[in-house]
């Protein structure tokens, strides 16, 4: 390990060792000792208004938050005497008193600020959280007559003003107009991860941060639990930045100090590790104070483990386990092997260069939905399957599905999603991709969900992809996709299905829920509405077709071979259908359409 003198500012590569030793997982920050002492003296005398006996923070607060308080309010470069910490991101699990502590930090900062008529903000993502934060600050003042003489409380405005300076601390719920015309000298954002679900949160953060480049300066403290969904939007951006700074790869002179209570990635992926309750205290700095370990375990056993989905959410909030691919028992079994199938050498162009036959498959496509497209090629030498995915959506989806708007913009920035304004632009782009595959003599088939094709059929006919020449094929849906789903799982596990790196597909794979039927399975979404799986479903359509051993149209105009594997798969599907439907004859009649042209 490099010496600390060689590390970039705020780097803390030994953060996990510090957590294991019971220390605050942050870099050592040089302080103005006099200012730090003043801040601590004020902070420690504040009393908890909602605990019997109203204990002072000198007794009720752990040293971990005092470290944060001093670093944020009293950092100082020994040479230049300038502030070093302009921003701080603390991620700490639920029930560690973070809302109470940031209310106390806000009062401390208000007391420390001597310049008159400044503004400070505590911003919460919802009215309930903002009211809770204000109630804590208000309560600390009301139970101490000395503080009541220092601060004026305006309950109806959720505003606290220092009488001597006129500087105010406003507690507000998040809104896009929250900082219009204002340059706060301090902004505290509670539950930052919730802002990842809000449209235009990035623009608001830019407004808030505008204060930091003025001569008066402006600080931003962000404190949050981990998200109860896969990180997205502003939360994904800030978390990634904080981890990079912590690990020493975030630049030489960052202004953000990261304090992240989390297990290393390896331990987060090891369910045996984080289910071991002996490991929980490591990332719960307030255990024994605001957290009762026995009650926490009881809550997990009785509520957190009720279902796999409940457990996923519970551990994201109480243990900061990041939700990602392969953490749901009722999810797709292939998700467990999805990450190992990632191959950065795979792209649309590389598939055309390396493969002997290519399937283009589609799923979705409404104006309030994603249109998922997949390119699945069979490699010439190895006969491995190589996958590349893309999706399209209309701008209206961002308004209709605001909870995922930030996530969709992330995918657009990664060039994995195209957001278009005029209906039909998606079809034009898709036809261009198919035409390129076809012009190279590689197209085995275009495989689609037969429902809702609409104008796509006409567009495909213009490039001679039709039902008649068997280049346009309808894939089975529902339980009829069981064989494709199982095939993809096995090929991911054995390494013969590899895919391009894609955050879009990672998200979709994590959204897949597998529902068992009587003797089969079918895929649905983990959460109705905004949890999209269309690009994954497009891949399954392609897997169904590729499993039929197709040849490129330039080799065989039939579009795919009708050899023994074809007949065998029909028999498997027919048997499954018959059992599911409870009638062998009906099942056989239904399965006769599997593999039919659209």
Question: pTM value?
Answer: 0.68
Residue 402: burial class (beta carbons within 10 Å; 0-12, 13-18, 19+):
middle
Return the pLDDT at 323: 83
Measuring CA to CA, which residue among 207, 237, 187 is closest to residue 503?
Answer: 237
What are 330's two structure tokens?
A: 């009722």
Q: Which CATH class is domain 4-261+271-283?
A: alpha beta
Q: What is the number of other CB atoms lying within 10 angstroms of the CB of residue 254?
A: 21
Q: Where are the domains of the chain?
A: 4-261+271-283, 335-505+538-557, 563-593
Measuring CA to CA, which residue among 138, 133, 136 is closest to residue 148?
Answer: 138
How is 118-187 classified by DSSP, letter by letter?
-EEEEEESSHHHHHHHHHHHHHHHHT-HHHHHHEEEEGGGTEEEETTT--EEEEEE--TTTTTT---SEE
Q: Which bin fits 22, alpha (ψ -120 to 50), beta or left (φ > 0)?
A: left
Return the pLDDT at 87: 96
Tens-binned pLDDT, residue by residue, of the chain (598 aa): 444 557 899 999 999 999 999 999 999 999 999 999 999 999 999 999 999 999 999 999 999 999 999 999 999 999 999 999 999 999 999 999 999 999 999 999 999 999 999 999 998 888 888 899 999 999 999 999 999 999 999 999 999 999 999 999 999 888 766 655 567 899 999 999 888 777 677 777 877 776 555 556 789 999 999 998 888 888 988 999 999 999 999 888 899 999 999 999 888 888 888 999 999 999 999 999 999 999 999 999 999 988 777 888 999 999 999 986 535 456 788 888 898 999 999 999 999 999 999 999 999 867 778 999 999 999 999 999 999 999 999 998 888 888 788 889 999 999 999 999 988 899 999 999 999 999 999 999 999 988 767 788 999 999 999 988 889 998 888 778 889 999 999 999 999 999 999 999 998 998 888 776 544 555 665 454 567 899 999 999 999 999 999 998 755 444 444 444 445 445 445 544 443 344 434 443 443 344 444 4
| Whole-angstrom distance, CA of residue 149 vs CA of residue 109 | 17
CATH topology of domain 335-505+538-557: Nucleotidyltransferase; domain 5 (3.30.420)
Return the pLDDT at 120: 93
| Whole-angstrom distance, CA of residue 588 vs CA of residue 495 | 34
């Amino acid at each position: 390990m490099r010496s600390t003198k060689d590390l970039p500012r705020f780097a803390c590569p030994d953060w996990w060792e510090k957590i294991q030793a019971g220390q605050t997982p942050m870099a050592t920050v040089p302080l103005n000792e006099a200012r730090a002492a003043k801040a601590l003296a004020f902070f420690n005398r504040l009393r908890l208004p909602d605990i019997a006996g109203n204990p002072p923070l000198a007794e009720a607060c752990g040293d971990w938050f005092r470290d944060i308080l001093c670093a944020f309010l009293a950092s100082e470069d020994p040479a230049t005497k300038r502030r070093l910490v302009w921003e701080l991101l603390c991620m700490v699990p639920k029930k560690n008193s973070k809302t109470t502590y940031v209310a106390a930090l806000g009062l401390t900062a208000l007391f420390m600020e001597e310049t008159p008529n400044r503004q400070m903000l505590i911003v919460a993502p919802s009215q309930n959280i903002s009211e809770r934060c204000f109630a804590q600050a208000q309560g600390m003042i009301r139970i101490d007559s000395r503080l009541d003489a220092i601060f004026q409380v305006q309950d109806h405005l959720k505003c606290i003003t220092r009488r001597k300076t006129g500087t105010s601390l406003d507690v507000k719920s998040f809104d896009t107009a929250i900082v219009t015309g204002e340059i706060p000298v301090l902004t505290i954002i509670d539950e930052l991860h919730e802002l990842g679900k809000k449209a235009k949160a990035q623009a608001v953060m830019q407004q808030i941060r505008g204060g930091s480049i003025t001569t008066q300066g402006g600080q931003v403290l962000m404190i949050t639990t981990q998200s109860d969904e896969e990180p997205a939007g502003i939360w994904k951006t800030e978390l990634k930045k904080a981890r990079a700074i912590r690990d020493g790869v975030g630049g030489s002179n960052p202004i953000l100090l990261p304090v992240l209570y989390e297990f290393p990635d390896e331990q987060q992926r090891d369910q045996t590790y984080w289910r071991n309750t002996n490991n929980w205290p490591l990332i719960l700095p307030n255990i024994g104070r605001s957290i009762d370990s026995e009650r926490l375990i009881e809550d997990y056993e009785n509520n957190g483990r009720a279902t796999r989905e409940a457990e996923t959410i519970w551990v994201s909030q109480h243990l900061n386990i990041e939700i990602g691919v392969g953490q749901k028992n009722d999810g797709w079994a292939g998700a467990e092997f999805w990450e190992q199938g990632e191959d950065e050498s795979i792209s649309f162009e590389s598939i055309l260069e390396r493969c002997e036959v290519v399937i283009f498959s589609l799923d979705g496509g409404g104006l309030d939905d994603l249109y998922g497209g997949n390119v699945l090629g069979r490699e010439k030498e190895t006969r491995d399957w190589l996958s590349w995915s893309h999706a399209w959506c209309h701008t209206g989806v961002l308004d209709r599905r605001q909870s995922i708007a930030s996530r969709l913009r992330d995918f657009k920035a990664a060039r994995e999603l195209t957001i278009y304004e005029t209906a039909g632009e998606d079809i034009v782009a898709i036809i261009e991709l198919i035409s390129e595959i076809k012009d190279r003599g590689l197209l085995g088939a275009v495989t689609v969900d037969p429902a809702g094709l609409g104008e796509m059929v006409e567009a495909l006919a213009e490039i001679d992809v039709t039902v008649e020449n068997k280049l346009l094929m309808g894939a089975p849906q529902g339980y009829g996709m069981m064989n494709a789903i199982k095939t993809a799982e096995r090929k991911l596990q054995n390494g013969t299905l590899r895919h391009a790196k894609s955050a879009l597909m990672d998200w979709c794979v994590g959204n897949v829920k597998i529902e068992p039927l009587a003797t089969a399975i079918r895929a649905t979404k983990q959460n109705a509405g905004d949890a999209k799986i269309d690009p994954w479903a497009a891949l399954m359509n392609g897997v169904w077709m590729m499993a039929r051993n197709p040849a490129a149209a330039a080799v065989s105009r039939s579009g795919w071979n009708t050899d023994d594997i074809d007949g065998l798969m029909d028999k498997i599907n027919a048997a499954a259908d018959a059992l599911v439907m409870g009638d062998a004859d009906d099942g056989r009649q239904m399965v006769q359409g599997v593999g039919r042209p659209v």
